[in-house]
Amino acid sequence: MEWKKTARAAFKLVDNDNVVGLLNMEPTAVTWEMGGMTYRFQQKSSWKQTYQFINPEGALIGEMRPKNWYGTTFVITLEEQSFYLTFTNNPLAAVQLRDAENQWLIQARLMTANHQVQTEFSMKEAFKDAPNAYWLAGIIWNYFYPMAQSECGDIDAATFLLLATA
């Protein structure tokens, strides 16, 4: 799997030459298109750090909010499932999605190999069949891509691979 940049703030997720979905990072919301349906991820209000997951019918089906006011972890509640989104930058940027048992499901991180900074984007193989797995992968990408740009300069999104791991 890999992310391919299609426009300035748009990407497609490709798996075995099949487009899984389209991610559009707009200023007011992130949209995820999959199977002819469009989902939205948007800030609840300009004064809040709470975000909403909106299904294609416009119904609120989840939210993301800070775990506490001083940390780097957000709690995602999506269709009665709980996840944790964690940001780190030690020594390089990373964004990770974990389940309620603290097992990682999706991660995006910068790492060094052969004295060069590279990106790793991985999803647990068993999680690929979960409802909303690819939408959550898009949320991870939405947060990680600007961090990677900031730390690495002008990078080509086509070089980011989504690796399926056990």
Q: What is the mean pLDDT of the chain?
A: 86
Judged by DSSP in three states, 159 sits in helix
What are the tens digits of pLDDT across the range 37-58? 999 999 887 667 889 999 999 9
| CA torsion through residues 116, 112, 93, 137, sign | positive
What pLDDT score was predicted for residue 164? 46
What pLDDT score was predicted for residue 28? 83
What pLDDT score was predicted for residue 82? 95
Check: CB of residue 120 under 8 Å from CB of residue 107. Answer: yes
What pLDDT score was predicted for residue 73? 94
- Residue 146 above 80 pLDDT? yes
Measured distance CA(104)–CA(6) in Å, rounded: 28
Residues in the chain: 166
What pLDDT score was predicted for residue 19? 92
- Residue 22 above 90 pLDDT? yes
Of residues 114 and 157, more confidently modeled: 114
- Residue 25 above 50 pLDDT? yes
Query: Among residues of the chain, what percentage have pLDDT more than 70?
Result: 90
Burial 31-46 (b: 16+ CB within 10 A, else e): bbbbeeeebbbeeeee
- Residue 83 above 80 pLDDT? yes
pTM (2 decimals)? 0.82
Q: Where are the domains of the chain?
A: 2-165
What pLDDT score was predicted for residue 162? 46
Query: What's the mean pLDDT in 32-39?
Result: 92
What pLDDT score was predicted for residue 16? 79
For residue 127, name the pLDDT band (cuts at 50, 70, 90).
Answer: very high
